[in-house]
Amino acid sequence: MGAGAGKTRRMPRAVRERQMLDAAVRTFARLGYRAASMDGIAELAGVSKPLVYLYLHSKEDLFTAVIRREARALVDAVRAGVEPSLPADAQLWAGLRAFFTHTAEHPDGWAVLHHQARTHGEPFAAEVAAMREEIVAFVTALIGAAAREAHGTPDLPARDVAGLAQALVGAAESLAGWANETEGVSAKEAAATLMNFAWAGLGNLMRGERWAAGR
């Protein structure tokens, strides 16, 4: 018998736990919370169902653990991509690239966060909402900084900035899906599209130019 062949057994808890979470992300992403079965997840993870329960306690806990892990990974990736000493526009650009890169590399994690977690009741939605708030706040801060840096305009109406940030994040979410699904659209390209879009809107906002019906 070759070395290490056969069914690998007896692994440290931390390793097994990661395998389970990996299987769960994939399953939840593809089927949704309800349609995913603990049986299926256990099988995909290569362990028996009781072990999943022993380590993750319940389907709800498992889903929560998945959401937390993926949310943390995404937020960390974006933060890690940003150099706080750079100008705001460069930070935004870096953040967008990190965001699109991460979502492209972890499509299942992104699907869980964007689609599944938000459609299955308060407890899970709240978890994701917290992460989204974190990102929206980050973007909001950048927009404020950009305004100050570029034009010395410290007094953009908060409501407008919030709306802009919401639109920006929503656009990013939508483009992440588009880039994942459309052949040949790279993370960089998606980031560029959005950056142009955003920067122009921001410039307008700061110049006080608004679109006006009839004009």
Cβ closest to a second copy, residue 3 vs residue 213 = 213
Residues in CB range of 188: below 8 A, 6 or more apart: 97, 100
**Do the beta carbons of residue 63 and residue 124 sit within 8 Å?**
yes
Q: How far apart are CA 174 and CA 185, in angstroms?
A: 13
Task: Out of 16, 26, 97, 102, point to the residue binding DNA (CB under 7 A).
Answer: 16
Cβ closest to a second copy, residue 61 vs residue 160 = 160
Binding to a second copy (CB under 8 A): which residues in 20-59?
31-35
Q: How far apart are CA 168 and CA 201, in angstroms?
A: 10
Please report how close the Cβ of residue 3 comes to a second copy at its closest, in angstroms: 29
The two tokens of residue 147 are 């305004």
| 89 is a contact residue toward a second copy (CB under 8 A) | yes
| 196 is a contact residue toward DNA (CB under 7 A) | no
Q: Specify the stretch interacting with a second copy by CB under 8 A; choose among 6-14, 76-84, 145-153, 191-199.
A: 191-199
Task: Out of 1, 3, 5, 8, point to the residue binding DNA (CB under 7 A).
Answer: 8
Q: How far apart are CA 42 and CA 85, in angstroms?
A: 45
8, interface contact from a second copy, DNA, none, CB < 5-8 Å by kind:
DNA
Cβ closest to a second copy, residue 45 vs residue 116 = 116
Burial pattern 93-114, b for ≥16 Cβ within 10 A else e, equals: bbbbbbbbbbbbebebbbbbbb
160, interface contact from DNA, a second copy, none, CB < 5-8 Å by kind:
a second copy
Q: How far apart are CA 97 and CA 104, in angstroms?
A: 10
Which residue type is seen at 201?
G
Nearest Cα to Cα of residue 116 among 64, 72, 76: 64
- CA 58 to centroid of chain Cα atoms: 24
10, interface contact from DNA, a second copy, none, CB < 5-8 Å by kind:
DNA
Please report how close the Cβ of residue 169 comes to a second copy at its closest, in angstroms: 6
Residues in CB range of 3: below 8 A, 6 or more apart: none
Residues that bind a second copy (CB under 8 A): 31-35, 89-90, 93, 115-116, 118-121, 159-160, 163-164, 166-175, 177-178, 185, 189-190, 192-201, 203-205, 209-211, 213-214
Contacts with DNA by CB under 7 A lie at 8-13, 16, 34, 36-39, 47-51, 53-54, 57-60
